Homo-oligomer: A and B are copies of this chain.
Amino acid sequence: MKIEVIEEVWRELGKCEMCGIRDLVLFADLNEDDFKLIHQPIVDMQLKPLQTLFRTDDSPDFVYTIRSGLVKLVNYSSDGRYRIVRLLGKGDLVGIEVLNGQPYAHCAEALEPLAVCRIPVSEVLRINRDTPRLHEQMLARWQKISSDADCWITELSTGQARQRVIHLLLHLASISDSDDFFLPSREDMGAMLAITTETASRMISALRNEKVLQVLEKNRARADLVQMRTLL
């Protein structure tokens, strides 16, 4: 559990209106006038794997939209062990709970090289007060979080270790936009699936022996998805 300081690489973002993933983000439905409500800057940040966006006790002043990369939300439980409760990817909004006046509910760490837009909470609240065009997006985002959580419970926390690993790999492949996909460290797989790192490792080895999974460079893999689904 390394603690590293965030090296922030700032770059003033021209305009949200020009955003390449405009249709995916929280501000998708805003019009030109709405954007005039933004006074404080929305800044672009790049993070390297292991760096944190925020921790539970950080001052809840920003939310983050993911432009590219993968983020894990981690819950450190009272007895020391930790559990990854969610994965967020392109277009997702990290830290949404602070928009309700809550503290950050998790620790958010980059898994892959990460590009995010850092949005001041005050700006979202202002826009949300002055135009109705955020409401639907907000509700849709909460909805997605909730259905992802259901999936996490039914697919990733139920059944035998082997099935959980396969479900996880299928999920990772489905949210990847390239042919290969992100393969977490065995420790992280364990924290997602509530199994040990050794068990995770054994399952990955087995799938490799069975030729349904190829491990590429560090943290990347490719899989025969069709055949893998038959193994469930």
A: residues with CB less than 8 A from B are: 75, 77, 79, 81, 83, 85, 97, 99-100, 102, 105-106, 135, 138-140, 142-143, 145-147, 149-150, 152-155, 157-159, 194, 232
Contact = CB atoms under 8 A, between A and B. Distances in A.
A154 B99 contact: no
Contact of A100 (B106, B139, B149, B159): B139
Contacts of A154: 75, 77, 83, 85
Given A146-B146, A153-B153, A158 B81 contact: yes
Contacts of A150: 75, 85, 105-106, 149
Interface of A is mostly: helix
A232 B79 contact: yes
A17 B158 CA distance: 43
A42 B58 CA distance: 43
Contacts of A138: 139
Contacts of A79: 232
